[in-house]
Amino acid sequence: KNEVEQSPQNLTAQEGEFITINCSYSVGISALHWLQQHPGGGIVSLFMLSSGKKKHGRLIATINIQEKHSSLHITASHPRDSAVYICAVLSGGGADGLTFGKGTHLIIQP
């Protein structure tokens, strides 16, 4: 079973700062998801990656398959970015559901 580790667990930063959240996994994967969960619980899928890099607005996600590592970056952070960010991986042939990291609780202070 894949082990997914996220760091940091908690992060508080000032508005405008560049944010990096890391995700490492133990077994080769077919895809990796970055999810955003707001205090009410609703989940938004930010990215699905299998290689390289993706960008959407102020969000950038990268993945290094050889190192089994992915990062989520937020540029020009804003208080509305405050949420829990979750990394989830799809292993092997994808017959199973995702394995989730424990999440990174991000607070952006004005």
Partner 1 sequence: GAVVSQHPSRVICKSGTSVKIECRSLDFQATTMFWYRQFPKKSLMLMATSNEGSKATYEQGVEKDKFLINHASLTLSTLTVTSAHPEDSSFYICSARGRRAEQYFGPGTRLTVT
**Strand pairing of 59-64 and 52-56?**
antiparallel
CB 101 to partner 1: min, Å: 7
Q: Does 33 bind partner 1 (CB under 8 A)?
A: yes
The reply to whether 97 sits near partner 1 by the rule CB under 8 A is: yes
Amino acid sitting at position 79: P
Which is closer to partner 1, CB of 43 or CB of 76? 43
Q: Which of 21, 23, 49, 86 binds partner 1 (CB under 8 A)?
A: 86
Torsion of CA 104, 6, 45, 91, to 10 degrees: -160
φ/ψ of 36, rounded to 5, equals -120, 130
**Per CB under 8 A, does 48 bind partner 1?**
yes
The answer to whether residue 100 forms part of the interface with partner 1 (CB under 8 A) is: yes
Of 100, 99, 35, 31, nearest in space to 65 by CA: 31
SS3 22: strand
102 part of the interface to partner 1, by CB under 8 A: yes
**Which spans of this chain sit near partner 1 (rule: CB under 8 A)?**
30-31, 33, 35, 41-45, 48, 86, 88, 90, 94, 96-103
